[in-house]
Structure 1
Amino acid sequence: MQRLALFALDLAAVCLLVFGLYFPRHRRRDLVVAYLGVNVGVLAVAGSLSSGTVGAGLGLGLFGVLSIIRLRSTELDQHEVAYYFSALALGILGPLSSGPLWLCPALMALILVVMYLGDHPRLLRSYRRQTLVLDSAITDQAQLVAQLEQILGARVHVAHVERVDLVNETTVVEARYSYDRAALRDRELVG
């Protein structure tokens, strides 16, 4: 009976992760089915194999194999990778928990709380990252930062040049920048 309760707790936790946190914030339907499928698949496999003596080794092996398979597929943003690993961890925790009764629910709650706080829209909301293609070939770092700050209307913290094309006069740059509070408030009112 305890195993069934942990399985039900896992399903409730992954539904909260996917439908309560991920989808309302990011709206990618394709990843909803991926997170649910990975969680339930891991839960089923780990649940069926956990009755033996393989326990922790099985959990780590499943975690590693599934992460390699998934990370070799389509490109994911870092926050999507975090949700993916959270769904994996929730699926492994239920079947493979062998500690006190409170430990598994506490660890599941910890995962959900960390994801809620770490991906909260208000956390570091003025910081952004963007890849830009500029219509000029810029090799001087100070000039590049000045032009990016003018275009973005923000303070540039990092400008990583990915490619400079001297023939076609373009620069591809990844910029990490932030808005001050007043500029952020103005942007949110307009956008």
Structure 2
Amino acid sequence: MLQSSFTPTALDESELLGIQTLTDPVMSTAQSLSELAIRFFLNLLSCWVIVRLLYYPKSRRKDYVFTFLTFSSAMLLLLYAMGRVDVGVGLTLGLFAIFGVIRYRTETVPIREMTYLFVIIAIAAVNGLTPLYVVAGVPDNNPHYALSSGDVLLALAANALSIILILVLENSRGLRRSASKIILYDRIDLIVPERRDELFKDIEERCGITPVDVTIGNIDFLKDSAYIKIYYNTESCADTTLDSIIRDKQLIDNQTL
């Protein structure tokens, strides 16, 4: 009687399934610090170019320059820290909470400044979440983290495209920039619709600006004065803080004329 020479051997689950098990690679401290430095300085450089070279020359608002650069750096660090842990939905909820604080818990921000704010938030998100190190050496059974030149170029391209887009829009001659100004006008005889051309001419002579449209506000017939909001085209994008204060209707109504 023939006896089988086959001897059963114990196989683990990975061998039965044909799966090769590898030890998960861990980034070294030097790699983590270099990754953070690359992200931080790339983000700071991009935001500095956008804020200091594109935004500031036309607005001259140093307070917003400080706010944008500080907020962008803080947002980058926050996203980088959250991206290193598995937060899932918490990351999205955290971003919505931050946007909610910006929208409802601070004073009104002009539309141009709000646009720049969302631009630097988007750039901070790109620079904070784009993977720069990838796992390499898997075919050689030596997995480790290595800097991915492709991902670095992708991050650089995203930053460069954002800067180029803002540069083109800021210097486009086809896009007119409008501004508004509220004045206390003393010739209420000109505020009637029939004398609108005379009103425009008088405003241009006295204020030095060419109005495109006007809105008549609170009128005081006892003192022959009225609040008028003037809309005009301008090359400057500077915000008038005084106008932002007077823009509140309750403040105007309670103002002593």
**Aligned AA for 1:19?**
R
| Contact 1:56–1:96 (8 Å) recurs in 2 | no
Aligned match of 2:110: 77
1:173 matched residue in structure 2 = 228
Unaligned runs of 5+ residues in structure 2 are 1-30, 133-149, 235-257
Query: Counterpart of 2:218?
Result: 163
Bigger-Rg structure (1/2): 2
Q: What do the CA deviations read for 1:131-179 (whole angstroms, capped 9, x no partner)?
A: 2221133652342453023322665432222333333322222222348
The answer to whether the aligner puts 1:13 opposite 2:46 as a matched pair is yes
Q: Does 1:65 align with 2:97?
A: yes
In 2, Cα distance between the equivalents of 1:27 and 1:156? Answer: 23
Alignment map for 1:20-169 (pairs within 5 Å): 20-54=53-87, 58=91, 61-62=94-95, 64-71=96-103, 72-97=105-130, 101=151, 102-120=153-171, 124=175, 127-137=178-188, 140-144=192-196, 146-152=198-204, 156-169=211-224
1:13/1:126 CA distance change after superposition, 3 Å: closer
Q: Against the structure 1 CA distance between its residues 33 and 173, is the aligned structure 2 distance closer, same or farther, given a 3 Å change threshold? A: same
In the alignment of these two chains, the number of paired residues is 178
Structure 1: state its 5+ residue gaps: 180-191
Q: Secondary structure at the match of 1:174?
A: strand
Residue identity in the other structure for 2:203: I
Instruction: Give RMSD over aligned pairs.
Output: 3.4
For residues 35 and 214 of structure 2, what CA distance do their matches in structure 1 show? Answer: 51
Letter in 2 for 1:105: L
State which drifts further: 32-41 or 151-160: 151-160
Aligned in 2, Cα 1:57/1:169: closer, same or farther, shift over 3 Å?
farther
Cα deviation for residue 14 of structure 1 reads: 1.1
Distance 1:49 1:172, change over 3 A: same
Measure the CA separation in 1 of the matches of 2:176 and 2:113.
17
Q: CA deviation at 1:59?
A: 5.6
State the TM-score, normalizing by the size of structure 2: 0.56
Structure with more helix by fraction: 1
Structure 1, residues 29-85: CA drift from partner, whole Å, max 9, x if none? 2222211110011001100001234468726742x4334433442443322222222
